[in-house]
Each structure stands twice: as structure tokens, then as C-alpha cells.
Structure 1
């Protein structure tokens, strides 16, 4: 059985293991599904020419810049669907937006990057030029069911054509779904060489969803197959359960292209529905130097290189005729007040301190003025953390410009009333040099820790800060270290997502780094996110 083929192959189906009485085998990428010509509605279907005719595969446009196809199309050994991340070894040309290859519509461009999905015959292929005027296919969210009928597409071989010019389709019945594999049987078609990587679709109530990608097949009835072979069973890779991965891959270059050298402040929290120990990890809010405010949604896996998968604009930037309110924001910090998404505390240039009880992708909610006075213009740094016994990150730690440090417990109840505040350190000549501060849970103490980046490049963790003050310190970077260039620092639960012990740094040169799993021993591996 083959699913990837040279010009002698047929539509590569779905199976890579045992089907029926025998074992499916894979040779090279194949040509089209041996079914009927597909109408022009499936313009998201893509044809891949790999190595100038050495191999041919099919695929599906899932984003203007990305095609989802089978990893084995690019593998050195097509029976083992493994491929390295990066540029393809062979020049690959994608044609998408035309179901009839003799026409001139759609987009023709090369593949610049491959991102494989570990453990499954799937790869995302990045287009050198975005496809225009073509609607990508949606990724399904429900698993295919036994007995369900799916439509399978491909540009591979048919019963009578070696290299068809038209996209073909066929109806397949789902036999079983096991792990990441989808076993199907053709009713009126087979998956032939050239069909490898082609989409398996669910069509219901006028919607078309991608639920599988062709991998391997017996190729019964395909041109060039032994006439004694009549089996139309095929195996594909499921995609209904990897929509988050697809979203992460297609968003990665978008995140990296942001002008990170212009990020002035960050705040972390669960703003889009995540929770500690849950599926979705912490989000991040960024305030830019033009006063735009962006919310970055946390990922759902432990990949420190790609901690965010989507973005939402919370506030528009300044215009030539109007300044945004956020132009006057001087400090921001994430906080949690319970009963919904996390919130934000903002210190403004006029001395107002504002609590937004909840923030989500639709904006800021539950605005509450905590204070407004000339005294609060002297607040140099603020950070909210879990510095008291309750479970909320609702205790505000403030470093003032004269060096004294205060803690304001339980903001939602007490606000910043003088009667509730605790003075952790009196005025001094050391703390005015605290250039960046962020709350985290690094050392396993009962209350949160404070991370400080000092003006001389030293970085320090103060473990278990509480209303009684500071209890020792741990130096995690020495004086005159590269942290002199740590312009913005924020801690959050971005990787393991059990507690906020990952530190994100925006450097002076506009690059971003992540330090996952910071603990009592300090920083460990640095992971470059941008740059």
C-alpha cells in the first residue's frame, strides 16, 4: 500500500499500520483520489510538487500562509513519516485556489518552512507568499465516528489518469479511530498515489470541516495497481484534536513580527479562560509605546518557544488627532480577584490607581478607582501577587521613589487605605535602584516571591514575601550581568502552568527570552522566543 508517490503513485490515504488482513506500505507521494472530479468549491485543496516532479502530494490550506499535509511527503524514507523542522530539502511548489490545474486562478508559490507534528503523519508547510482570495478550510473539533461518511480529496492518480489535471473526490466510511489514526474504506473511490496529504472532510449543515489527512492506502483500482488488488481501505492522520497546534504554528510568525522593542510594560494573568493546572496557560497583556494594548492568549502545551497562540487588541494606539487613555499609563500589573477572569491594576500619570476587576479579549471590566493623589505619582514600581494567606493574587507591592516599600493586602476588599497597608522597608538609598519588579512563585514558600532587576544588572529573588516583610534574598544574576539590558520583565505560568515560575524578558535590542521553571537555585535554561 502506498500513499506518497512519484509520477507513478496514487492518492496517499490514511493508514500507516495494519489494515484488514495485511499491512499498508508506503512508497512515494501519490496522485489523485480515484473518484469523481471535485467542483470548484474546494479551492482550499492544494497540490504539492516536490523536487521538480520527483514527488507529488496533496494538502489543504488552513491559513493564508500555511498548508497542512502529510509529513511523509518530505521524509527521506516515505515509510517513516519523520521530517525535520525547517526548510524542505527539495524545492516544493504549491498550487492552491484552483481545482482545475489547467486554469490560471489561485496562488502558486514555494514552501519556505516545514513544522512537523511529533508522533503523527502531519506537517504544516509555510508558503513563501500568502494565498489571496482563498478561504482556508476550518479544522473540525469533533472526532470522526464509526460509520460516518467523509469526503476525501486529492490531486493524485485515478483509475485512468496518471497525472490528472483536476481535483478528485470520493466518499469514504470511517471504520475506526485509534489514537491519532483514522481508518476508512472507500465506497466509490480509493486513495491513490499523489493523494497523500489530501484532506478528509466532514460536510454537515452546509459546513465543511477538515478532520483527517491522507497517509497510506491499498490503492485498489488505481492506475498502475495490480488488478487483483481490490481493497480501498486507507489510513489517515486525525486533525480534529490538533486545532490548538495548528493555531500555534500559524500564529508563531505573527507573534515574532511584532515590534517587541517598543513594548513598555507587560502584565500576566488568566484573562482568556485558563487556570493553574488547567489546559490553557497564562496570558500576557502588553502596553506599547504608542499606547496600544494587546492581549496575548496562552498556549495549551509546554513548548516554551511558543507560549502564545493568538492576540486581541484591547486598546487602539494614539492617532495624530487623539491620544489614547493608555498613553497615560505608567505601571500595570496583573491581579486576580476571583469569580471570573483575572484583572489589572494600573497606575496613571496623574496619580490615579485603577483596578479593572476582570479583563478578557473583549476589554476591561469592573473599573474601580483605588486612589487618586499626588502621592501615587511617586509610585515607581508596582506588582500584584499572592503575599497573604488567601489564594488570590490580589496583594499589591509598591516600590516608591524614595526607596520605601509597601504592601497593600486584599485590594478588592481593602483598596489601598493607609490603615491596611504594611511598610516592608522604610525610605532608603537601595530600593530606588529597583528598575523592574515582578511577582512569582519560584521557591515553594507559602506566599509569593519578588523578583527584582536592579539598575546595575543584578537580579535578586526575595522568597516568601509577606506582611512581615522580606525573608532573605537569592542572587540569580550578578552585577554588570547581561540583565543590564533586561528592559521589561514579567513572571507567569507559561510552560508547566502549575504556578507562575516562568520569567519572560524583553531585552533592549527588541528580542524576547523565556526562563522556564525558575526556582530557589535561580535561572536555568534561556529559551529565545523572538530574535
Structure 2
């Protein structure tokens, strides 16, 4: 999704205008994010980040605000969907951020204080060649939150993953909300650079919604910490029982490592 495009690259035209109007008008309610998910509790998913974009240019010269989801993978770096950073023609761009972007990290309530929470400007984006993945560089490092580890191994059909995001509840009311939500999905298909996932828990319709673009899909275990398998790219209007598309981490693992290790 791109920002007010958040999570859906197909959210354009009238749908994009309507979503922008809703967000700018400030119509967000107390409903939570990730369709048919569960509310995150304080202290959970510290790596989860909410990206808030403002003053995004439209082709007609007007502007709108939007949001994406992301995850902390190094003290100075977030990972998200590539289409969250784009030009006026919605083409992904690298370099200084194309519009003001702020990251909220380490809180389950974006508007509340919360332990360990940070509000940090994003100053640059780096696009992964050929994949809907971008790395976002922070103005200040976040040193008191454990970054999410990257899974270098290929995913498998049937793997159960957790999505953690800040998106809307429904595609027909696409408002970026302020409370972190999560749910479980299962890998239902594999492609060279993407996976298909479908809702598993708490409902079979659990899954990403607008503004969940870039949300992490994480493998959890009882014996080790969470690892990042994929990031949300797009899918049908939500909630739904169908496939979502997520960009695989294993195929860009080396690129990610070399990018975040480069001299600042």
C-alpha cells in the first residue's frame, strides 16, 4: 500500500481520493487495525513501526496525508513496502524522503506515551531493485528496542506467520488508526520473490488492510526470537478470506545486510 495508498497500490482514483479525504478530515475512530485481528498489549511487538506521511503531492497539484506500517531491523533502519515512498506518478523513489515522514516505534498506542516509545523522522529511503521493499533511514538511532531479525531461509507452504500492523479495519472505511493490532496468517502460495498468505487466527478473514503496507510477517517460536519472513505488499479489499501478497525477505537478505552496513 502506498501511504494513503497505504497497503494497496490498486487504491487509486476515486478510492484514493476518498481515503485521503477521510484521513485528512480526521475521522479516525477508536476501532483498531489489521482486519479481524487482536489488539496488541503494551510491551508487545516493540519492533513494530507506524509511518505517518504528510503533504503527499497528487497529480492535480493537491496534497494528501497517509500512513504505512514497518519494522525496526537495525537501530537506524526500518523496513517497509517500496511503494510507501513514491513520486507524484506513484513510482517508487530512493533518496531523501519525497514528503515528510515520521516513524512511531515501540508503542502499541501511537497517540499515547507508552514505555520505550519513540517518534523519529525518516530522512531517506532506499528501494530494493525489483522488489516491493524499501529501507527507511531514521534521523536518530533507536538503541533501546531489539531490532527484528531477518530470516535468510526460504519460506514454506503452510508456515504460520504473524502480521503486526497499524492499518484500517475495513477496506470500505480506510482510515489509518492509532492502535497496533496483530493476527496470524498461513502461507498459501510461493513465488520467486513473494508469498501468498491467508488468514488463520483469530479468524479466517484476518489480514492486512489499507495502511498496513510494509507490515512485517513474522515467524515466532518458543525457542527463539521473532524473525522477519516477508512484508505486506497488497491484496483484495478487506476483510477477506483470499490471498494477500507479501514480499519475501530471503531473496533480498544480502542486499538488506549490505545496505544497513554501509557507512553513514
- What is the TM-score with the length of structure 2 in the denominator? 0.79
Report the CA distance between 1:77 and its aligned residue. 6.4
Report the CA distance between 1:161 and its aligned residue. 8.5
1:250/1:185 CA distance change after superposition, 3 Å:
same
Cα contact 1:191–1:219 (8 A) shared by 2? no
Q: Which residue of 2 aligns with 1:48?
A: 51
Asked whether 1:95 is paired with 2:97, we answer no
Report the CA distance between 1:102 and its aligned residue. 2.8
Report the CA distance between 1:46 and its aligned residue. 0.5
Aligned counterparts, 1:18-33, within 5 A: 25-27=10-12, 32-33=33-34
Q: Which residue of 2 aligns with 1:126?
A: 137
Asked whether 1:208 is paired with 2:214, we answer no
Q: Which residue of 1 aligns with 2:247?
A: 237
Cα contact 2:67–2:176 (8 A) shared by 1? no
Cα contact 1:218–1:231 (8 A) shared by 2? no
Cα contact 2:40–2:180 (8 A) shared by 1? yes
Deviations 1:83-138 (A, max 9, x none): 23210110111111112213224221111111110000011110011113111000
Q: Which residue of 2 aligns with 1:141?
A: 152
Cα contact 1:146–1:175 (8 A) shared by 2? yes
Work out which of the residue numbers 156, 160, 181 in structure 1 matches 2:167.
156
Asked whether 1:166 is paired with 2:166, we answer no
Asked whether 1:114 is paired with 2:125, we answer yes
Q: Which residue of 2 aligns with 1:190?
A: 207
Instruction: Tell me how far apart the structure 2 counterparts of residues 68 and 215 of structure 1 sit (CA, whole Å).
Output: 12
Q: Which residue of 2 aligns with 1:220?
A: 238
Instruction: Tell me how far apart the structure 1 counterparts of residues 174 and 231 of structure 2 sit (CA, whole Å).
Output: 22
Instruction: Tell me how far apart the structure 2 counterparts of residues 94 and 208 of structure 1 sit (CA, whole Å).
Output: 21
Aligned counterparts, 1:352-371, within 5 A: none
Cα contact 2:81–2:134 (8 A) shared by 1? yes
Instruction: Tell me how far apart the structure 1 counterparts of residues 151 and 176 of structure 2 sit (CA, whole Å).
Output: 30
Instruction: Tell me how far apart the structure 2 counterparts of residues 252 and 132 of structure 1 sit (CA, whole Å).
Output: 18
Structure 2's unaligned 5+ residue stretches are 24-31, 56-63
Instruction: Tell me how far apart the structure 2 counterparts of residues 163 and 125 of structure 1 sit (CA, whole Å).
Output: 20
Cα contact 1:142–1:240 (8 A) shared by 2? yes
Cα contact 1:4–1:195 (8 A) shared by 2? no
Instruction: Tell me how far apart the structure 1 counterparts of residues 141 and 236 of structure 2 sit (CA, whole Å).
Output: 35
Aligned counterparts, 1:337-416, within 5 A: none
Deviations 1:222-273 (A, max 9, x none): xxxxxxxx4442101101232221111111125xxxxxxxxxxxxxxxxxxx
- Indicate the structure (1 or 2) with the bigger Cα radius of gyration: 1
1:77/1:152 CA distance change after superposition, 3 Å:
farther
RMSD over aligned Cα, in angstroms? 2.5
Deviations 1:30-83 (A, max 9, x none): 9932111123321111000112561110000000000000110112368x6x42
Aligned counterparts, 1:489-528, within 5 A: none
Please give the secondary structure, in 2, of the residue aligned with 1:54: strand
Instruction: Tell me how far apart the structure 2 counterparts of residues 192 and 240 of structure 1 sit (CA, whole Å).
Output: 24
Cα contact 1:210–1:239 (8 A) shared by 2? yes
Cα contact 1:26–1:216 (8 A) shared by 2? no
Aligned residues: 229
Which structure is richer in relative contact order (CA contacts within 8 A, separation 6 or more)? 2
- What is the TM-score with the length of structure 1 in the denominator? 0.40
Asked whether 1:36 is paired with 2:56, we answer no
Cα contact 1:149–1:202 (8 A) shared by 2? yes
Cα contact 2:174–2:210 (8 A) shared by 1? no
1:141/1:134 CA distance change after superposition, 3 Å:
same
